[in-house]
Amino acid sequence: MSGFHYKAGDHAPHGVAIERVGDGWRVVIDGRAHDITVKPHAGGRLELTIGGVRRSAYVAAVGTRRWVAIGDRTWQLERIDGSPRRRAGSASESGHDVLEATMPGQVRAVLVDPGATVKAGQTLVLAEAKKMELQVKAPHDGTVAAVLVQVGQVVERGQRLVDIDATAAAG
């Protein structure tokens, strides 16, 4: 499960964890779990189903800031995680690589699922940026620990896409 901390205005930070579950996502905010499905539409609109209720949402991102509009409410959130980002090819001591978007774009295909065994150089995600196709490839053999994006999602430079565990493949 990927974890972040966001601050909304002057309010205390909120812990947010996201995990892919079947065709949807489990989002845990300050310990409270929400199972949601997300369906991307044209113009940046997302159709969310939260607890069986459908809602339209729009999300815009610039750097560490996110603007989320659902119905007649809009929130400005700022990511406050101080942890350093891992770049592709820079395995940590734990044997994990988190592959990040190298430039803003839109995810066109996710070619792996969590738990999949991958080989070095295998394409994991296809994205499009400025009419160019970008291939996100495994830097080494391993097992996909998490897929953090979905088809149609707009991503920013440095956004986490896939987590690869090198130790799982070795064991």
Radius of gyration of the chain (CA): 16
Could you tell me the residue range of the domain that residue 38 belongs to?
Answer: 2-79
- To the question of pTM greater than 0.85 for the whole model, the response is no
Query: How sure is the predictor about 169, in pLDDT bands with cuts at 50, 70 and 90?
Result: low
Q: Exposed, middle or buried: residue 122 (CB in 10 Å: 0-12, 13-18, 19+)?
A: middle
**Residues 109-145: pLDDT tens digits?**
999 998 999 998 899 999 887 778 888 888 888 999 8
Residue labelled with tokens 């509009």: 69
The verdict on residue 15 lying in a domain is yes
Tell me: do 73 and 135 sit in the same domain: no
* pLDDT recorded at residue 92: 44
Q: Which residue has the higher pLDDT, 88 or 162?
A: 162
pLDDT of residue 1: 54
The answer to whether position 112 is within a domain reads yes
Compute the distance between CA of residue 106 and CA of residue 110 in angstroms, rounded to an integer: 11
- Read off the pLDDT of residues 45-74 as tens digits, 9 standing for 90 and up: 788 898 889 999 887 766 677 778 888 888
CATH number of the domain where residue 137 is located: 2.40.50.100
Of 52, 79, 106, which residue is a domain's last?
79
Asked whether residue 91 is domain-assigned, the answer is no
What does pLDDT average to over the chain? 78
Residue 65 and residue 133 in one domain? no
Averaged pLDDT for residues 89-115 = 75
Query: Does the residue 50 lie in any domain?
Result: yes
Mean predicted confidence (pLDDT) in 78-90 = 49
* 168 sits in which H/E element: helix 166-170
pLDDT at residue 5 tops 80? no
